[in-house]
């Protein structure tokens, strides 16, 4: 299975290996909960208001731009593997068109201020 | 294939283990599974030992850069300091905040640690000796050989993002949540130049398999892929959350970000994940750009560690020399400099390599000539990019910023002379 | 019942069970995490089918981008952590939806086994990704370019929707 079987085994072994210190800690560490210690941390003050935060739409735009460029790279990778066998110049031109269309998208985002951290 | 002495130790051990199991009478397929478990255990232990060494090394190096000595009390040269730190972390009390989602809260350090460890499954530490080792074909000295090694590394990076979100959300703390959003926004942004530079690497190397990339490097790929190496290295530093990109866990700003509520060993696991990821980036840079395990006299895996620690030293050097970036500077640097540069780099490399191919200079025919011509093209692009950066920086420095009128301007009190008139 | 069968059953069960929990749980963030587990199960299925590239692409795009977008969207509309209000899981059209689901299941179970799916026993060629690359610039160059235009459209659409409203501009 092209190495994924080893990845599965490695996940299991890694999780077990990393749980060992956690289990040791559960055995050896003191456990004295009291209400003050379990309070939510807010630089020493008491929290007020509930834990709703104003979520900026800008985070979504960054995640979406990442998704777009990620999918672009997934298209580029098989092209890159076939690159060394290209006989003519046409595949290169097709890839340049592909990348330039998305560079245009990046330029649009830049001009419209979608890349500013508001 | 020349039998290099160091390689023999691990091959000999593997062959001996296989023979013992065969003599017990186990099924060959079962032997493969047992060998895989042993390899995974060895890789995990190696990663943990490297982590302990790195924590000590980092403290010593930062001390010397800051003109002091660093830990020297626990053992000779402070070498037992990581063990002391580990004992401290294990015996600290483990608090869980009120209202936290306990399963996710406990699971996210392990997910973060495992995601960082998984990169080591495909990194080659030595060559493939060929031939047979007790009935099974010998493989390369790596966890496993994947035909999509580089792509797999990207996939593993995606898993660690989920761990950050889990940690921030399950802490029931608005600062942790904010911190995890900012962290994920930064990590996502810096993955774009990373994936684009991997596309450039695959194009030049012609394969995604890590073992074949090392064997394809008759000229170290840092020459034809100079800008790619720089972009990958910088985005790797940002991905592992180290300074100067460590805004998301800045102790002085949003108080350690998404791992505010973690204490004791769970916090150490996040810390471990960060350092293990940083060393994994160094290992990938060594494998793809610096000839991997190739080197003259010494065994291959020693060369690998020498080169990786050299790259890690550069990472530490950058960390302790530069101040931290603000979040908007971080994002601007990524989207307005690194992404356009890596896209342009891809285009320039594609065009340049095709031109060289038509002239007849290819990687197989005359590697050093090919490498140096592409290196020159990289330098030209780098200077053009830096010139453009300098121009835009000068322009923004020279913009006159308007002086905002003070809102608490006090009107002068009416003079008693005028009022009495 | 070989080992491959057992592993497949385990991963298929993980995928289906987490998909089930995803649509029935009351906590939105838990639903997002169950979705992530389900996507991992799909990636494991791809890996078992010797489609390594698709498995890794599934992890990168779905788990690394789409799941995060979904989690961000959940946070955007619902606010932050703390107890999210429990929603009624079953709406007034549940009966009609159940009928349509059962009918669709029947149709699929009757129709799907009728086709002859070309199944090969040969090994997957080693250079299959290279062949895909050649196909992308050979036979399938038009979908290749149209894909980039599609991505551009998605980018422009999202930026337009998420932009700052200037004062005096009418929404929508």
pLDDT tens figures, B91-113: 888 777 777 778 888 889 999 99
CB contact under 8 A, B192 and A70: yes
Average pLDDT over residues B136-161: 83
In C, which residues are within 8 Å of A81 by CB distance? 129-130, 133
CB contact under 8 A, C36 and B162: yes
Beta bridge partners of B126: B141
Cα gap B184→B79, rounded to integer Å: 35
| DSSP run (H or E) holding B137 | strand B136-137
Q: Is the pLDDT of residue B2 over 50?
A: no
* C126/A contact by beta carbon, under 8 A: no
* Alpha helices in B240-336, H assignment, sequence order: 265-289, 300-321, 327-333
In B, which residues are within 8 Å of A86 by CB distance? 354
Cα gap B99→B96, rounded to integer Å: 9
Q: Which of B185, B216, B328, B349 to mutate to test the interface with A (most CBs of A within 10 A)?
A: B185
Comparing CA positions, the residue from A38, A34, A45, C83 lying closest to residue B96 is A38
* C residues 42-71 lying closer than 8 A (beta carbon) to A: 44, 47-48, 50, 52-53, 55, 57, 60-61, 64-66, 68-69
Task: Determine the CATH number of domain C1-81.
Answer: 1.20.120.1200
User: What is residue C104's predicted lDDT score, i.e. its pLDDT?
Assistant: 94
**Total Cβ atoms within 10 A of residue B32:** 14
Of C64, C134, C159, the CB nearest to A61: C159
Q: Which residue of B has its CA nearest to A99?
A: B343
Q: Is the pLDDT of residue B115 over 70?
A: yes
Q: What is the dihedral of CA A58, A61, A66, A72, to 10 degrees?
A: -160
CB contact under 8 A, A62 and B185: yes
Q: Is the pLDDT of residue C113 over 90?
A: no
Q: Is the pLDDT of residue C167 over 60?
A: no
Of B94, B144, B189, the CB nearest to A62: B189
In A, which residues are within 8 Å of B147 by CB distance? 2-3
Boundaries of every domain in chain B: 7-91, 96-126+141-396
Q: Which residue has the higher pLDDT, B179 or C7?
A: C7
Beta bridge partners of B386: none
- Computed over every residue of chain B, the mean pLDDT equals 83
Distance from CA of C59 to the nearest CA of B (A): 5
* B103/C contact by beta carbon, under 8 A: no
Q: Which residue of A has its CA nearest to C43?
A: A4
CB contact under 8 A, B172 and C81: yes
Distance of CA B360 to the CA centre of its chain: 36
Q: Report residue C21 as tokens.
A: 């929990």
Most distant CA pair in chain B, distance: 118
* A42/B contact by beta carbon, under 8 A: yes
Cα gap C148→A98, rounded to integer Å: 6
Q: Is the pLDDT of residue B114 over 90?
A: yes
In this prediction, residue B17 has a pLDDT band, given cuts at 50, 70 and 90, of confident
Average pLDDT over residues B158-180: 83
Q: Which residue has the higher pLDDT, C26 or B124?
A: B124
Boundaries of every domain in chain C: 1-81, 126-164
- Computed over every residue of chain C, the mean pLDDT equals 84
Q: Is the pLDDT of residue C114 over 50?
A: yes
In C, which residues are within 8 Å of A1 by CB distance? 47-48, 50
Of B45, B177, B265, the CB nearest to A25: B265
Q: By mean pLDDT, which of A34-38, A74-78, B184-188, B305-309 is the weakest?
A: A34-38
Cα gap B382→B387, rounded to integer Å: 8
**DSSP 8-state secondary structure symbol assigned to residue B118:** G
**DSSP 8-state secondary structure symbol assigned to residue B336:** I
Mind spelling out the 3-state secondary structure of B374-406?
HHHHHHHHHHHHHHHHHHHHHHHHHCCCCCCCC
CB C59 within 8 A of CB C44: no
Cα gap B103→B106, rounded to integer Å: 5
CB contact under 8 A, A37 and B95: yes
Q: What are the backbone dihedrals phi and psi of residue B137, each rounded to the nearest 5 degrees, phi first?
A: -65, 140
pLDDT, tens digit (0-9, with 9 covering 90-100), for B215-229: 888 888 999 999 999
CB contact under 8 A, B177 and A10: no
User: What is residue B312's predicted lDDT score, i.e. its pLDDT?
Assistant: 94
User: What is residue B35's predicted lDDT score, i.e. its pLDDT?
Assistant: 84
Cα gap A55→B297, rounded to integer Å: 57
- % of residues, chain C, pLDDT over 70: 87
* C3/A contact by beta carbon, under 8 A: no
pLDDT, tens digit (0-9, with 9 covering 90-100), for B55-84: 999 889 989 888 888 888 888 888 888 888
In C, which residues are within 8 Å of B161 by CB distance? 64, 68
Q: By mean pLDDT, which of A27-41, B272-286, C52-66 is the weakest?
A: A27-41
CA atoms within 13 A on the CB side of B368: 0
CB B24 within 8 A of CB B153: no
Q: Report residue C85 as tokens.
A: 């209000």
CB B85 within 8 A of CB B147: no
In B, which residues are within 8 Å of C64 by CB distance? 155, 157-159, 161, 191
CB A78 within 8 A of CB C133: yes
B100-B104-B107 Cα angle (round to 5): 130
* C residues 68-97 lying closer than 8 A (beta carbon) to A: 68-69, 72-73, 75-76, 79-82
Q: Report residue A54 as tokens.
A: 């104003």
Q: Report residue B59 as tokens.
A: 């403290």
Cα gap A113→A115, rounded to integer Å: 5
Of A9, A102, A115, the CB nearest to B335: A115
Q: What are the backbone dihedrals phi and psi of residue A36, each rounded to the nearest 5 degrees, phi first?
A: -70, -40
CB contact under 8 A, C151 and A79: no
Distance from CA of C60 to the nearest CA of B (A): 5
CB B97 within 8 A of CB B171: yes
In C, which residues are within 8 Å of B181 by CB distance? 72, 75
Distance linking the first and last C-alpha atoms of chain A? 46
CB contact under 8 A, B151 and C36: no
Q: Which residue of A has its CA nearest to C154?
A: A68
Report the SS3 class of residue B133: strand
- % of residues, chain B, pLDDT over 90: 30
Cα gap B227→C83, rounded to integer Å: 48
Cα gap C33→B222, rounded to integer Å: 40
Per-residue pLDDT of chain A (118 residues; tens, 9 = 90+): 668 889 999 999 999 999 998 888 888 877 777 777 766 666 555 555 555 556 777 888 899 999 999 999 999 999 999 998 888 888 999 999 999 999 999 999 998 888 887 6
State the residue for tokens 């989602």.
B101
In this prediction, residue C153 has a pLDDT band, given cuts at 50, 70 and 90, of very high
User: What is residue B118's predicted lDDT score, i.e. its pLDDT?
Assistant: 92
CB B291 within 8 A of CB B208: no
Boundaries of every domain in chain A: 4-111
User: What is residue B1's predicted lDDT score, i.e. its pLDDT?
Assistant: 35
State which fold the A4-111 domain adopts: Methane Monooxygenase Hydroxylase; Chain G, domain 1 (1.20.58)
CB contact under 8 A, C65 and A70: yes
Enumerate residues 6+ apart whose C-beta is below 8 A from B308: B279, B282, B283, B286
Q: Is the pLDDT of residue B413 over 70?
A: no
Mind spelling out the 3-state secondary structure of A55-100?
CCHHHHHHHHHHHHHHHHHHHHHHHHHHHHHCCCCHHHHHHHHHHH
Q: Report residue A63 as tokens.
A: 């995640």
Distance from CA of C23 to the nearest CA of A (A): 23
In this prediction, residue B247 has a pLDDT band, given cuts at 50, 70 and 90, of low
CB contact under 8 A, A112 and C163: yes
In this prediction, residue B4 has a pLDDT band, given cuts at 50, 70 and 90, of very low
> Tell me, what's the ipTM?
0.89
Cα gap B161→B116, rounded to integer Å: 11
Q: How many CB pairs under 8 A join A and C?
A: 141
Q: Which of B162, B182, B198 to mutate to test the interface with C (most CBs of C within 10 A)?
A: B162
* B88/A contact by beta carbon, under 8 A: no
């Amino acid at each position: 299975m092209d190495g994924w079987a080893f990845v599965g085994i490695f996940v299991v072994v890694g999780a077990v290996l990393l749980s060992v210190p956690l289990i040791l800690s559960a055995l050896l560490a003191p456990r004295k909960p009291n209400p003050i210690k379990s309070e939510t941390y807010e630089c020493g003050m008491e929290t007020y208001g509930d834990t709703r935060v104003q979520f900026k739409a800008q985070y979504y735009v960054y995640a979406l731009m990442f998704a777009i460029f990620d999918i672009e790279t997934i298209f580029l990778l098989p092209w890159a593997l076939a690159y060394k066998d290209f006989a003519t110049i046409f595949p290169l031109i097709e890839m340049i068109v592909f990348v330039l269309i998305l560079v245009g998208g990046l330029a649009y985002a830049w001009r419209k201020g979608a890349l500013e951290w508001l | 294939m020349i039998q290099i002495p160091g390689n023999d130790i691990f091959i000999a051990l593997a062959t001996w283990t296989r023979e013992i199991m065969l003599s017990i009478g186990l099924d060959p397929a079962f032997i493969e599974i047992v060998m895989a478990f042993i390899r995974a255990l060895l890789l995990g232990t190696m990663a943990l030992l490297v982590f302990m060494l790195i924590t000590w090394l980092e403290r010593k190096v930062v001390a010397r850069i800051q003109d002091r000595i660093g830990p020297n009390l626990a053992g000779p040269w402070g070498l037992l300091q990581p063990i002391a730190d580990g004992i401290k972390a294990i015996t600290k009390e483990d608090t869980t905040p009120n209202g936290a989602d306990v399963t996710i809260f406990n699971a996210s350090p392990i997910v973060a640690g495992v995601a960082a460890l998984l990169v080591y499954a495909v990194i080659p530490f030595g060559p493939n000796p060929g031939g047979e080792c007790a009935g099974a074909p010998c493989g390369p000295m790596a966890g496993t050989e994947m035909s999509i090694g580089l792509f797999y590394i990207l996939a593993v990076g995606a898993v660690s993002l989920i761990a950050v979100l889990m940690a921030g959300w399950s802490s029931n703390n608005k600062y942790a949540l904010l911190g995890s959003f900012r962290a994920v926004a930064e990590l996502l942004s810096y993955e774009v130049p990373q994936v684009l530079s991997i596309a450039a690497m695959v194009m030049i190397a012609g394969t995604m398999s890590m073992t074949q990339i090392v064997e394809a490097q008759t000229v170290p790929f840092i020459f034809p892929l100079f800008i790619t190496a720089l972009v990958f290295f910088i985005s790797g530093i940002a991905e592992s959350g180290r300074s100067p990109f460590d805004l998301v866990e800045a102790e002085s700003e949003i108080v350690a970000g998404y791992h505010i509520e973690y204490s004791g060993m769970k916090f150490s696991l996040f810390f471990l994940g960060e350092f293990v990821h940083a060393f994994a980036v160094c290992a990938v840079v060594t494998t793809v750009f610096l000839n991997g395990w190739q080197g003259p006299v010494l065994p291959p895996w020693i060369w690998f560690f020498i080169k990786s620690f050299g790259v890690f030293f550069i990472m530490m050097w950058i960390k302790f020399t530069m101040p931290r970036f603000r979040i908007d500077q971080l994002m601007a640097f990524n989207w307005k400099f690194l992404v356009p540069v890596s896209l342009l780099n891809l285009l320039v490399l594609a065009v340049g390599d095709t031109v060289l191919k038509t002239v007849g200079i290819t990687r197989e025919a005359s590697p050093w000539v090919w490498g140096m011509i592409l290196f020159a093209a990289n330098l030209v692009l780098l200077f053009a990019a830096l010139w453009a950066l300098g121009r835009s920086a000068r322009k923004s420095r020279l913009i006159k910023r308007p002086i905002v009128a003070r809102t608490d301007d006090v009107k002068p009190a009416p003079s008693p002379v005028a009022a009495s008139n | 019942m070989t080992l491959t069968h057992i592993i497949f059953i385990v991963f298929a069960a993980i995928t289906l069970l987490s998909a089930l929990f995803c649509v029935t749980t009351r906590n939105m963030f838990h639903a997002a995490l169950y979705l992530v587990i389900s996507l991992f199960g799909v990636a494991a299925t791809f890996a078992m089918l010797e489609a390594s590239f698709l498995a890794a692409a599934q992890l990168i795009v779905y788990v690394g981008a789409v799941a995060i977008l979904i989690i961000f969207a959940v946070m955007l509309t619902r606010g932050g952590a703390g107890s999210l209000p429990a929603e009624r899981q079953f709406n007034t059209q549940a009966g009609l939806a159940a009928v349509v689901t059962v009918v669709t299941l029947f149709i699929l179970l009757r129709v799907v086994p009728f086709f002859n799916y070309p199944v090969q026993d040969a090994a997957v060629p080693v250079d299959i990704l290279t062949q895909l690359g050649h196909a992308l610039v050979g036979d399938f160059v038009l979908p290749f370019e149209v894909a980039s235009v599609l991505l551009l459209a998605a980018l422009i659409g999202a930026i337009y929707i998420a932009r700052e409203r200037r004062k005096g501009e009418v929404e929508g």
